[in-house]
Amino acid sequence: MPTPKRVFLNYAREDIHVARRLYHDLIEKGNCEVWFDKESVLPGQNWKLEVKKAIRQSDIFLLLCSSESVEKTGYLNAEIRQAIDKLQEKNPNEVFVIPARINQCEVPFMELWDLHYVDLFPESGWDVGVGLVLKSIGSI
């Protein structure tokens, strides 16, 4: 079996329920190690350092986009900026950032506008969307 891909799951706090569901689906259905702050940061760890390290070490940055998240400012955007910096160092044909929309919204940051996104909505499209994410990651 190939080495599992390391996936960083980026999401807004308002979308925690969707992020948690996606985390479990990716773990259950794919050959990947998902970095999800609620499961990966241990008590007492410096969470900002752990986030930076996890993005740096990730093979895939999975960006959950929602109408709420694209309007936010703060640390969420710093994580996305770090991923964009890493993306710019990659071969243009290599998949690194995967935008995944959980409702009707625009993908943030113009550096990501050329990337094809996947829709995880409506509810009937969830399994198809997760399958496409796993295919893109290369873990199925």
- The predicted-structure confidence for 32-53, as pLDDT tens digits, reads as follows 999 999 999 999 999 999 999 9
Radius of gyration of the chain (CA): 14
| Residue-by-residue DSSP string for 7-75 | EEEE--GGGHHHHHHHHHHHHHHSSEEEE-HHHHSPTTS-HHHHHHHHHHH-SEEEEEE-TTGGG--SH
Start-to-end CA distance of the chain, whole Å, equals 11
**138/78 Cα distance (integer angstroms):** 26
The model's pTM is 0.95
The contacts of residue 127 (CB under 8 Å, 6+ apart) are none
The model's confidence at residue 124, banded by pLDDT at 50, 70 and 90, is: confident
Residue ranges and CATH numbers for the domains of the chain are 5-137 (3.40.50.10140)
pLDDT of 12 > 80? The answer is: yes
- The predicted-structure confidence for 60-108, as pLDDT tens digits, reads as follows 999 999 999 999 889 999 999 999 999 999 998 999 999 999 999 999 8
